[in-house]
Structure 1
Amino acid sequence: MGGGADGNVLPEPAPVAGFTAEEVARAQRQVKAMLVASRLAPAMLERGDAGAFVRLFAPSGRAHLRTELRREPWPVSLATRIAPGSRLLPVAPKVRGTMRAEPGDRQGELRIRTNYVFAYAFDVDDPSRARAPLDLVTMLRADVSFVLARGDRWRKADQGFHFDGSDSFVYSMACGPLRDEGLLAPAYLDQRTGPPSDRRPPTAGVLRPHPSDPARGLLWSPRGGVSSPRHGAM
């Protein structure tokens, strides 16, 4: 894993569905900026300030995105926030993953799929509270797809990037802040039973869409991560 934005190494661009290699490279750089703004920027992590992130999208999609980012609990599948009272170590989160470009569903669309793991290292006042390394490091895997609309067939307000779908999985975290608020906090804040281990992720939990009616929100079960339903496509 690399530190911060440097850990997000872009693939070699190639022409895709009417987009030149240079245009694909530009799109990849824009998506990288979105990942930095949503998962690594202190303004987002510490305050939930999504202004820089929202401005990277097409004008017609910004209002919807702002609405999503005002929801409670916080939509962790879209962006990362740290729970109040917790603080990260003064080091950049570690990042590792992949990005690929492919044709969109319609002419003039380019889809960028991303799959990244972000590791957030937390500070602790009393080191004895951490019984294993993962008590201090929360891991978040985000699978996010973006679609770029380009060309005369699109209204000016629609030209640019749109969310195409997202899903996330979090482990080695405190269950309460994630379950109740969608926020990350270190696993040592949870009381757990059993011997410590350097190899196992500490017990966590999972949030999943309601099985019969996703509109009713997310259900909690005592497992090891968080999944969120897909968010709006263009």
Structure 2
Amino acid sequence: MPPEDSARRAHPSPDDSGPTRGLLDRLLRRSAQPTKARQASKPQHGTRVARLQRRKVIRLAVVAGVAAVVVGLLLAPGVRGVFFNRSGGGLPATVANQSSATSAYADTPAATFPIGATGILPPPAAKLGPFSAADVEAATKLTKQTLVAARLDPAMLEKGDTTTYLSKLAPSLRPMIGSALQNGAGALGYATRLVPGTKLASTQIRISGTMDVSLGTDQQLVIKADYVWVYPLVRSGATPSATMPGGELVVLHTVETYEWYQPAKVVATERGLRTGGGEWNAYNKDCGKFGQGYLTLGPLDKDGHTTAPPTAAYNPKTAPDLPGAC
């Protein structure tokens, strides 16, 4: 079995303050009483799990003009076991061998997954609370663009350039998210970056999952994106003596939310897409590099064979806390 591990980012639910209190009261309470990172129980059976807590960023100005409340985004590690180890459909900057795509996915569930941005399908737009169908469509379209910039953009994947991704977010969040992207394993909760020097084996990154929209208790749109991203990578170092199906793939499962507030309710710098809660997990990876916020293939086993992601890892319906042992 492959060396596996998981990292998760857990956040307060958009509904965690209860529906009966005013927006300003809830925000003041959140800023005065920051949520503590949960301390998980000691891991068993050799499994090493790392968990992170990221608090939502909400900086809202009430239209009545009486108050502005700022709740900062923090990344606070909550340790369980040993801590080791996100412009539309861009193509990878460097393609080692385009024809390798078919063989990389052969005999794996990803062989039939949609390719690239075609696998990100926003739900049909419909009026939701105070938002018109056009508002919902605009928010989900921007969410798709943000996911593409975070998980498929060649500048992000192979060069670590976060410019396009950050440009999709509300202006006030960009410095804080930029800092979070430098925070080790927590960075993968926002964007996918390959270890410097690691190359995609083909442009055909496979994706499977869903996007849905609901209304939060602050009357904001909450957009949930639950996707499995399958990256075919070029292995560096020793040549495997045997390659298992999926042996040259890294599978990343992300469950993340974005939020969209009514523009008339917030000041100009707060308008746009806002990061919410989520969690993630990766398989068939190098655990040490994962702890630094990067993806690359895990090492060969003791017999010189590739390892491979478990079949369940390809299924978006599998919770992204599938246990592993790094």
User: Which band: TM-score by shorter chain?
Assistant: 0.7 to 0.9
Counting only pairs closer than 5 Å after superposition, residues 150-161 of structure 1 correspond to structure 2 as 150-161=262-273
Residue equivalent to 1:101: 213
* 1:175–1:190 Cα contact (<8 Å) kept: no
Residue equivalent to 2:296: 185
Residue 67 of structure 1 pairs with residue 179 of structure 2: yes
C-alpha distance after superposition, 1:36-63 (max 9, x if no partner)? 0000001111111111111111111111
Counting only pairs closer than 5 Å after superposition, residues 74-113 of structure 1 correspond to structure 2 as 75-107=187-219, 109-113=220-224
Q: Which runs of 5+ in 2 are unaligned?
A: 1-112, 312-322
Counting only pairs closer than 5 Å after superposition, residues 166-181 of structure 1 correspond to structure 2 as 166-179=278-291, 181=292
* 1:74–1:183 Cα contact (<8 Å) kept: no
Would you say how many aligned residue pairs link Structure 1 and Structure 2? 202
Question: Greater relative contact order (Cα 8 A, min sep 6): structure 1 or 2?
Answer: 2
Aligned-pair CA distance for 1:16: 1.1
Report the secondary structure of 1:64's partner residue: helix
C-alpha distance after superposition, 1:22-45 (max 9, x if no partner)? 211111110000100000001111
Residue 121 of structure 1 pairs with residue 232 of structure 2: yes
Residue equivalent to 1:223: 324
Query: d(CA) in 1 for partners of 2:148 and 2:132?
Result: 24
Residue equivalent to 2:131: 19
* 2:240–2:304 Cα contact (<8 Å) kept: no
Residue 37 of structure 1 pairs with residue 37 of structure 2: no
TM-score (norm 1): 0.77
Q: Which runs of 5+ in 1 are unaligned?
A: 202-221, 226-234
The structure having more radius of gyration, on CA atoms, is 2
RMSD of equivalent CA atoms: 2.5
Aligned-pair CA distance for 1:17: 1.3
* 2:126–2:133 Cα contact (<8 Å) kept: yes
Residue equivalent to 1:148: 260
Aligned-pair CA distance for 1:139: 0.4
Residue equivalent to 2:28: none
Aligned-pair CA distance for 1:80: 0.5
Report the secondary structure of 1:46's partner residue: helix
Counting only pairs closer than 5 Å after superposition, residues 133-144 of structure 1 correspond to structure 2 as 133-144=245-256
Report the secondary structure of 1:2's partner residue: coil
C-alpha distance after superposition, 1:141-200 (max 9, x if no partner)? 011100111232211111111111121110122222113x1211113x243579878784
Residue equivalent to 1:56: 168
